[in-house]
Each structure stands twice: as structure tokens, then as C-alpha cells.
Amino acid sequence: MSNPTAAMLVIGDEILSGRTRDSNAHHLAKELTIAGVTLAEVRMIADDHAVIVDAVNTLRATYDHLFTSGGIGPTHDDITADAVAAAFGVAIGVRDDAAALLSAHYERTGREFNEARQRMARIPDTATLIDNPVSIAPGFTLGNVHVMAGVPNVFEAMLASVLPGIKGGDPLLSQSLRVKRGEGDVAAPFGALAAEYPDLSMGSYPFQQNGVMGTNLVVRGTDPARLNEAMTRLAALFA
Amino acid sequence: MSNPTAAMLVIGDEILSGRTRDSNAHHLAKELTIAGVTLAEVRMIADDHAVIVDAVNTLRATYDHLFTSGGIGPTHDDITADAVAAAFGVAIGVRDDAAALLSAHYERTGREFNEARQRMARIPDTATLIDNPVSIAPGFTLGNVHVMAGVPNVFEAMLASVLPGIKGGDPLLSQSLRVKRGEGDVAAPFGALAAEYPDLSMGSYPFQQNGVMGTNLVVRGTDPARLNEAMTRLAALFA
């Protein structure tokens, strides 16, 4: 009846130091909403083996799916694949299927498939590869954990490979009403309406534009008929 | 010796549904790096009382500081203040100091200080107020937890009020070198150098620009002399 749940783990010192602004969490949030999977939690953590292992084990046990981003490149700070293998207690090494993809790619592009690049073929035993049409080096799915790259266009391409295989529920629909009243003026009637529709999620988001204060009232839910009914009532309240 | 640590809790259904892209985590990350506070973890969670209480208690026990954003407005979905009070086991109600600020503000602007707006004066016992020069409704600090608004310009103003009171360590400095080589080509010498400088954090971030592939090599640390030494070695490696 209710939609499957998911969490995301964004892995990388560059996010927590403020050097890089993550965009993958927002992209995943939008895509899962369309797919009917409830994103319940996002965690951003450092490139630290013990921290990654602990977060992977907590989140994969709590939610139906866990998506990770970052830390699967060729350099010494790319430690996600090994940490995920450790979290599951399975072995990891350079795997033939991943190495074949990569060695063909580097042969085609005239670059050396050196030891550092072979690191990107390290895949935990029993994991299935996630296709990477952008830069070939694959992600992988192990159990309910989907391990993907941090570079946004690669993350997005990998997610597009993974999502069709995930059974979603009903897409989360949303409608919004923009009213030129302060949040404090709409709060009482809006809250009363929300209490009548416990199956819908209602939120209010204030804005200021050209000196005009107002509030966006957003109603979310999976049943289009209920959503329409609530929006009709909402529009009447603030007509 | 080592810098104080911090976590952030971003609270709001609108973030997890993909309606809104959070910008507060990135802003906090940059500011804490300058202040010499290590941001170790960011969690984004839903507007759910039990989930907020649990996350607040876990994170405030683990890190020196916890910063929260979102859920302190006047509407029914603004439940952060009550959840933080519950996490600490302290009482919460409309407090005179916060109510005085808000009632003066609404009197000045000719709007009613109604029941919904009085909700924004709900402050846990023993908490100290955080100044909000943008829209008056205060945040608060309770123990090592700093509770701030989700609207970005308000969050940023509140953080500017809070940061001078937080004792930081040495600012985290970073320098970067842009090389026109693939990540797989720089990985081995870069990793060897990183192993010689365990007190510094080194990361590599590939880019593609106008068809040119390259890598940004970033070195982070708190000791300027060590940072300069490592950068000199790095530049010599890839000259």
C-alpha cells in the first residue's frame, strides 16, 4: 500500500568543506518522487572508511533502498567500493567484467589501463554492475545498495540505468497555490484544512518578491482525486 | 589541538520531495571551514516529530555543535522547536522575550500578532534567542544545538549572529592545482604524495571543459607551511 522508502549517502570531504555544492541529492529527490519512492533521509559524510561502513549498514537496514554518490574514482581518496564491501562482509577485487569494459575503453581512447584505473574495476563479489554511458567506469548494486559516481552527469546517467529496475509505488503528486498573504495570516485556516486531510502532506513556504510578501501553499499526495478536492477547498479559503 | 566538530540537520519535506533545493548546508560548510570548525555530517530529514527528536539527540551527543535549519515558522508543519525541546526534555511555551520582539514588529508593520504568529515565540525553557535581523522571529540556542530558519537569507543572517560566539580552531585552508591529465594518470603519484602528508587531506576532482579532460588536485589543511610545502612538491610532480 505505502510506497517503498529510500535514503541517500553523499560521500566526500569536498562537500563538507564547502568546496563543492552537491547537486545529486536534489536530482535524486526529484526522480524518486516521480518514481513513487519516498526519499526519507539524506546523509552527507566524509571520506572515512569506518564512517561509511557504519552509515551504509544503518541506512540499508532502515530503508528499502540506499543510493550512494561519490568515492568510486581511481585515486587514493576513492574508498566507497571497499567500504560497501566491508559493510556487507563480502570480498572485493578487480573483477573481470568491469576490467573488460574499462580496458576496451582505454584501448579505444589510446590511454593506458594502469593500476590506478584498474582500481575502478574493483567490484564487490555478487554485486551487479550499473551501466555508465558517460565515462564507462561502472557503479554497482549490492543487495539494496546502489553505488554511483559523484560527478553529476555520471550520477544522473547511472541513476537512469538503475531506476527502471526499482519497483516504485504511486508517484507523489503536488499542487501549489500562491497567495499574497503572510504565512502568519494563512496558518490557522491552512492548518485546519491539513488536519482534515491526514493522508496528504501540506506545507507553506513564504516568499518576498518586489516588496510583496506572500506564501506558497503546497499540497502533496498520491491520490489525484483527494489532491484535487483539497486544492478546491484551499482555493475557496483564500479566494 | 584538533578543531571542534559540527553536524547539520536540514528539516523539511520540501527538500526530500525535490520541490526545494537546499542551499543552507553549502553555506554552513563554507562558513564553518573559515571558522575552523569541522563539519562532519549533514542529515536531511522529514517534518516528523519522532525522527527529529532522534536525530537531534544522536547528533548533539556525537558532535560539539549541531546546527538545524527549517521548521520554525508559524504553520502546522513547523514542528522543530517543539521537537528540540522534547529531545532535551525541557518545557516549551510562548516566551515573553520572543513575544515582545514579535509583537513590536507586527505593531510597527500594522499586522496582527495572531495565534499563528505567537507560535514563532514558542522557545524552549533556558534557550537563548538567536537574533533575526531579516524577519524578527528568532532562532534559539539550547545547549550545543543552534536552531535556525530554513529560508536562506534568514538562515544566513542567524548564522552570522551565532558564529562569533563559537570558539573555532584553525581555519581549514585549501590550495588547488589544475592539471590537464586524466584522474587515472595522476592517481599514482598523487596518492604517494598524500601518503607522505597524513596531516593534510588531498582530493582529486576530474573535469571536462571544451573537450579537454583534466583534474583539479586539492590539498587541505590547517598548517600554512605544510600546505605550501606539499603544493610545491605537487607542482613539481606535474610540471
Convert the pLDDT of each residue in A141-156 to its tens digit. Answer: 999 999 999 999 999 9
Convert the pLDDT of each residue in A175-214 to its tens digit. Answer: 999 999 989 999 999 999 999 999 999 999 988 877 788 9
In a mutational test of the A interface, the residue from B75, B78, B135, B163 whose CB has the highest number of chain A CBs within 10 Å is B75
Q: So where are chain B's domains?
A: 5-165, 173-237
In a mutational test of the B interface, the residue from A58, A76, A217, A219 whose CB has the highest number of chain B CBs within 10 Å is A76
Mean pLDDT of all residues belonging to chain A: 95
Q: Do B14 and A114 touch (CB under 8 A)?
A: no
Residues whose CB falls within 8 Å of the CB of residue A100, separated by 6 or more in sequence, listed in order: none
Q: pLDDT at position B122, please?
A: 97
The minimal CB distance from B184 to the residues A40, A114, A182 is found for A114
Query: What is the third-level CATH fold of B5-165?
Result: Molybdenum Cofactor Biosythetic Enzyme; Chain A (3.40.980)
Convert the pLDDT of each residue in A114-130 to its tens digit. Answer: 999 999 999 999 999 99
User: Can you give the pTM of this predicted structure?
Assistant: 0.93
Residue type, B120: M
Rounded distance between C-alpha atoms, residue B55 and residue B84, angstroms: 10
Q: pLDDT at position B212, please?
A: 82
- Residue A10 in this model has a pLDDT that exceeds 90: yes
Decide yes or no: CATH 2.40.160 for domain B173-237: no
Q: Do B203 and A30 touch (CB under 8 A)?
A: no
Convert the pLDDT of each residue in B7-64 to its tens digit. Answer: 999 999 999 999 999 999 999 999 999 999 999 999 999 999 999 999 999 999 999 9
Rounded distance between C-alpha atoms, residue B56 and residue B51, angstroms: 9
The minimal CB distance from B111 to the residues A10, A77, A182 is found for A182
Q: Do B21 and A26 touch (CB under 8 A)?
A: yes
Q: Do A17 and B40 touch (CB under 8 A)?
A: no
Q: pLDDT at position A13, please?
A: 94
Q: Do B16 and A22 touch (CB under 8 A)?
A: no
Rounded distance between C-alpha atoms, residue B185 and residue B234, angstroms: 14
The H-or-E segment that residue A71 falls in is: none
Pick from A176, A109, A165: nearest CA to A137:
A109
Q: pLDDT at position A212, please?
A: 82
Nearest-Cα distance to chain A for B42, in Å, is: 5
Q: Do A204 and B41 touch (CB under 8 A)?
A: no
Q: Do B220 and A13 touch (CB under 8 A)?
A: yes
Work out whether strand B5-11 and strand B38-45 pair parallel, antiparallel, or are unpaired. Answer: parallel
Convert the pLDDT of each residue in A77-102 to its tens digit. Answer: 999 999 999 999 999 999 999 999 99
Mean pLDDT of all residues belonging to chain B: 95
- Other beta carbons within 10 Å of B61: 9
- Residue B1 in this model has a pLDDT that exceeds 70: no
If you compute the radius of gyration of chain A from its CA atoms, what whole number of angstroms results? 22
Q: Do A191 and B32 touch (CB under 8 A)?
A: no
The minimal CB distance from A14 to the residues B21, B183, B205 is found for B205
Convert the pLDDT of each residue in B123-158 to its tens digit. Answer: 999 999 999 999 899 999 999 999 999 999 999 999
Phi-psi region of A146 (alpha: psi -120 to 50; beta: other; left: phi over 0): beta
How much of chain A, in percent, has pLDDT values that exceed 90?
Answer: 91
In a mutational test of the A interface, the residue from B42, B59, B109, B112 whose CB has the highest number of chain A CBs within 10 Å is B42
Residue type, A93: G
- What's the pLDDT band for B207 if we cut at 50, 70, 90? confident
